[in-house]
């Protein structure tokens, strides 16, 4: 019942692509005017670029680029910064504090009076990324170098695939699929193969143990993850994220001025919510379940031999998977991007957002992120046999119970 | 450009990729490479399902087979041989 800030990402990107093509065509024709024999082919190229089908194809490219920049350059860096600041505060220290005034570049090195180490430290992750880019990419002498080089690309590519179908609001998405939730789960399930290949191909005992642990663990937790989605389908009747969120917008209960929305969390799906929460933490390999890369016993597990930006990719994309997991959790159980009614102003029938849907969605994603970070820096790691016991003996029966309960409620209420 | 049947082009590309991946799968000596090519083969088959407008079968193909291939691999490592790869030889460069 609130309005999105970006009503249609495709429309916005179409206008943006139009501007880019207009500037390129202007440059092409200017070159053609300066060098007259080149004018006819350049003019034909400009006309071809501005034709409708080519413009649509270019718009799709720009759209995926915008989504990658939005997910990686904005949200990934912010989530990493939030984690580093928050766990530092949990450990009673300040964490990263380098300010932008410590940069050895022109506008920043002028101010000698500003302290350089009392800032927010937001750009520390960018600096770490630059450092990793400059490092040498080492391949161990006995490694299977083709597989060793393929695995980080596989992990990074399948993680980015999630964001093709993950909507950030009713307007900010790349593709709206009828089976969007299933697509996101399928993209989630492709990464374990990459992790296994990375663990095996380095030809190192630690990485192999980490990779095998990760395969055993992710297999165990993927089954309850999909089973509770089946339970959810009994309630929603759809796998389309937009439909699932729209169903959760209606009021469940009115207590005076307070209206409680009908989130899937309230009601029979609460069992499913608990199972999904535990399983998605395991899928992200965060600390209670981070056995594949247990740094105390396995020296970072399957990432031991990766170096340079390959390590940066697989390490940084864990936060991207965390954002995707939190987004999936909030779409399925916590009302997605729906906000209170009073945050939308209606001019006639045109909704003007005061607090747009994207803000509500990101509020949920970051609160869930804070919860995951809090959890992972407060409790110790679970042993590998205990992890598999939790997965196979607790979560799978619970998720079957969730299916039975959801089906029963569906039969009773009709 | 207008007369080209793009679906046929996509089908041919996917089929050629699939045949190449299958040949690589049965000829590769190393276990994990074979598992990787198996995953590639199954995903390209999923792409052909997608061409037939069967999105659900495509997604189930990815979910089930990408989940099953690592399992196969784990069993392969546990049941077939002791050494994970060729050990570096003690004399001479590796």
Q: What is the pLDDT of residue A143?
A: 76
Query: What is the C-alpha separation between A13 and A18, in angstroms, rounded?
Result: 8
pLDDT in tens, A267-281: 788 888 999 999 998
- In terms of domains, do A319 and A295 share one? yes
Residue of A nearest to B31 (CA): A200
Tens of pLDDT, residues B11-35: 899 999 999 999 998 888 777 788 8
Same domain, A114 and A209: no
Q: What is the 3-state secondary structure (H, E, C) of chain B?
A: CCCCCHHHHHHHHHHHHHHHHHHHHHHCCCHHHHHHHHHHHHHHHHHHHHHCCCHHHHHHHHHHHHHHHHHHHHHHHHHCCCCCCCCCCCCCCC
For chain B, the domains span 19-79
How far apart are alpha carbons A304 and A44 in whole angstroms? 53
pLDDT number for residue A46: 84
Any domain includes A199: yes
* Measured distance CA(A177)–CA(A175) in Å, rounded: 6
pLDDT reported for residue A367: 92
Token couple for B40: 């590639």
Contact between chains at A200 and B63 (C-beta distance less than 8 A): no
Which of chain B's residues have a Cβ under 8 Å away from the Cβ of A190?
Answer: 62, 66
Q: What is the pLDDT of residue A248?
A: 83
Nearest to A185 by CA among A328, A86, A392: A328
In sign, the C-alpha dihedral spanning A140, A145, A151, A156 is: positive
Whether A395 is covered by a domain: the verdict is: yes
Q: Looking at the predicted structure, is the pLDDT value of residue A2 above 70?
A: no
Contact call for residues A167 and A241 (beta carbons, < 8 A): yes
Q: Which of A142, A146, A193 sits opposite B69 (nearest CB)?
A: A193
pTM of this structure: 0.84
Mutate to test the interface with B, among A144, A147, A175, A186 (most CBs of B within 10 A): A186
Integer Cα distance of B91 and B94 in angstroms = 8
* Same domain, residue pair A114 and A147: no
The span from the CA of B62 to the CA of A351, in Å, is 40
Q: What is the distance of C-alpha A302 from the center of its chain?
A: 21
A118 and A150 housed in the same domain: no
Q: Are residues A223 and A305 in the same domain?
A: yes
Alpha carbon of B64: minimum distance to chain A alpha carbons (Å): 9
By residue range, what is the domain housing residue A106? 96-129
Instruction: Flag whether pLDDT at A34 surpasses 90.
Output: no
A131-145, A281-295, A343-357, B20-34: which range is least confident on average? Answer: A343-357
**Residue A239 confidence (pLDDT):** 87
Pick from B63, B69, B85: which is nearest to A144 by CB?
B85
B56 CB neighbours in chain A (<8 A) are 179, 182
Q: Note whether residue A4 is domain-resident.
A: no
Name the band, by pLDDT with cuts 50, 70 and 90, for residue B94. very low
Kindly report the nearest CA distance between residue A189 and chain B, in angstroms.
6
- Domain presence at residue A147: yes
First to last CA, chain A: 26
Q: Say how far apart CA A392 and CA A219 lie, in whole Å.
A: 10
Banded pLDDT at B85 (limits 50, 70, 90):
low
Average pLDDT of the segment spanning B35-43: 85
The highest-confidence range among A29-43, A86-100, B14-28, by mean pLDDT, is B14-28
**Paired strand residues for A346:** A351
> Residue B23: its pLDDT value, please?
92
Model confidence pLDDT, tens digit, residues A104-132: 777 777 777 777 777 788 888 888 888 88
Q: Looking at the domain assignment, is residue A376 inside a domain?
A: yes
One domain, residues A192 and A111: no
pLDDT of residue A204: 78
Q: Could you say which of A189, A203, A215 has the minimum Cβ distance to residue B84?
A: A203
- Least CB-CB distance to A179: which of B32, B56, B73? B56
Pair (A195, A300) in one structural domain? yes
For residue B86, the distance in angstroms to the closest alpha carbon of chain A comes to: 8
pLDDT at residue B93 tops 50? no
Check B32 against A179: CB less than 8 A apart: no
Mean pLDDT of A309-327: 88
**CA dist., res. A308 & res. A302, Å (int):** 15
Cα separations (Å) of A153 from A62, A150, A197, A200, A312?
Answer: 21, 5, 11, 15, 12
Task: Check CB contact under 8 Å for A177 and B55.
Answer: yes
As a whole number, mean pLDDT of residues A47-52 equals: 83
Q: Identify which has the larger pLDDT, B90 or A234.
A: A234
* Total of domains in chain A: 2
Report CB contact under 8 Å: A189, B63. yes
Residues A147 and A268 in one domain: yes
Do A301 and A294 form a contact (C-beta atoms < 8 A)? yes
By C-alpha distance, the chain B residue nearest A186 is B63
Q: What CA–CA distance (Å, rounded) separates B37 from B24?
A: 7
CB < 8 Å to B54, chain A: none
Q: Do A115 and A199 have their domain in common?
A: no
Mean pLDDT of all residues belonging to chain A: 84
Residue A295 is predicted with a pLDDT of 67
pLDDT in tens, A352-373: 777 788 888 889 999 999 999 9
Q: What's A264-284 look like in SS3? A: CCCCCCHHHHHHHHHHHHHHC
pLDDT, residue A48, reads 84
Maximum C-alpha span of chain B: 63
- Let me know if residue A163 belongs to a domain: yes
Binned at pLDDT 50, 70 and 90, residue A13 comes out as: confident
Residue A123 lies in a domain: yes
- Mean pLDDT estimate for chain B: 78
Quick: pLDDT tens for B41-79. Answer: 888 888 888 888 888 888 888 888 877 776 777 666 666
Instruction: Tell me how far apart the alpha carbons of residues A292 and A320 are, in angstroms, rounded to a whole number.
Output: 18
Q: Which residue, among A185, A193, A392, would best test binding to B if mutated, counting the most B CBs under 10 Å from its CB?
A: A193
Cβ-defined contact of B70 to A215 (cutoff 8 Å): yes
Which residues in chain B have their CB less than 8 angstroms from residue A222's CB? 67
How far is A145 from B89, CA to CA, in rounded Å? 18
């Amino acid at each position: 019942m609130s309005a999105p800030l970006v009503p249609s990402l495709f429309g916005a990107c179409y206008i943006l692509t139009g501007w880019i093509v207009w500037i390129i065509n202007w440059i092409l024709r200017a070159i053609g005017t300066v060098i007259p024999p080149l004018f006819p082919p350049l003019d034909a190229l400009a006309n071809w670029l501005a034709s409708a089908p080519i413009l649509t194809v270019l718009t799709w490219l720009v759209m995926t680029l915008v989504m990658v920049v939005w997910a990686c350059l904005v949200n990934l860096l912010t989530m990493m910064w939030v984690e580093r600041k928050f766990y530092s505060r949990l450990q009673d220290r300040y964490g990263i504090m380098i300010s932008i005034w410590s940069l050895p570049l022109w506008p920043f090195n002028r101010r000698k009076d500003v302290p350089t180490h009392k800032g927010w430290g937001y750009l520390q992750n960018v600096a770490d990324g630059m450092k990793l880019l400059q490092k040498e990419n080492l391949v161990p002498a006995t490694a299977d170098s083709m597989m060793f080089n393929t695995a980080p690309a596989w992990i990074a590519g399948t993680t980015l695939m999630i964001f093709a179908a993950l909507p950030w609001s009713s307007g900010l998405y790349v593709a709206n699929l009828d089976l969007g939730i299933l697509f996101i789960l399928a993209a989630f399930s492709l990464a374990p193969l990459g992790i296994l290949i990375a663990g095996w191909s380095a030809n190192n005992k630690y990485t192999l143990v980490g990779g095998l642990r990760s395969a055993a663990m992710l297999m165990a937790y993927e089954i309850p993850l999909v089973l509770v989605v089946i339970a959810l389908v009994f309630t929603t009747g759809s796998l389309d994220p937009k439909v699932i969120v729209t169903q959760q917008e209606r009021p469940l209960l009115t207590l005076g001025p307070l209206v409680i929305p009908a989130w899937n969390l309230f009601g029979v799906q609460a069992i499913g919510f608990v199972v999904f929460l535990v399983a998605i933490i395991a899928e992200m390999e965060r600390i209670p379940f981070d056995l594949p890369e247990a740094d105390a016993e396995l020296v970072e597990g399957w990432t031991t031999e990766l170096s340079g930006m390959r390590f940066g990719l697989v390490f940084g994309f864990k936060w991207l998977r965390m954002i995707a997991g939190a987004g999936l959790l909030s779409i399925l159980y916590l009302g997605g991007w729906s906000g209170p009614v009073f945050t939308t102003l209606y001019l006639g029938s045109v909704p003007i957002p005061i607090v747009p849907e994207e803000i509500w969605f990101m509020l949920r994603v970051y609160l869930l992120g804070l919860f995951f970070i809090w959890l992972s820096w407060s409790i110790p790691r679970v042993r590998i046999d205990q992890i598999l016991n939790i997965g196979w003996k607790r979560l799978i029966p619970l998720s079957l119970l969730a299916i039975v309960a959801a089906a029963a409620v569906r039969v009773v209420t009709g | 450009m207008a007369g080209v049947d793009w679906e046929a082009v996509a089908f041919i590309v996917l089929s050629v990729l699939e045949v190449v991946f299958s040949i690589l799968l049965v000829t590769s000596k190393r276990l994990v490479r074979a598992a990787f090519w198996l995953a590639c083969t199954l995903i390209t088959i999923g792409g052909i399902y997608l061409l037939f407008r069967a999105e659900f079968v495509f997604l189930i193909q990815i979910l089930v087979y990408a989940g099953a291939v690592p399992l196969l691999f784990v069993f392969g490592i546990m049941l077939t041989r002791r050494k994970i790869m060729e050990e570096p030889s003690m004399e001479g460069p590796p």
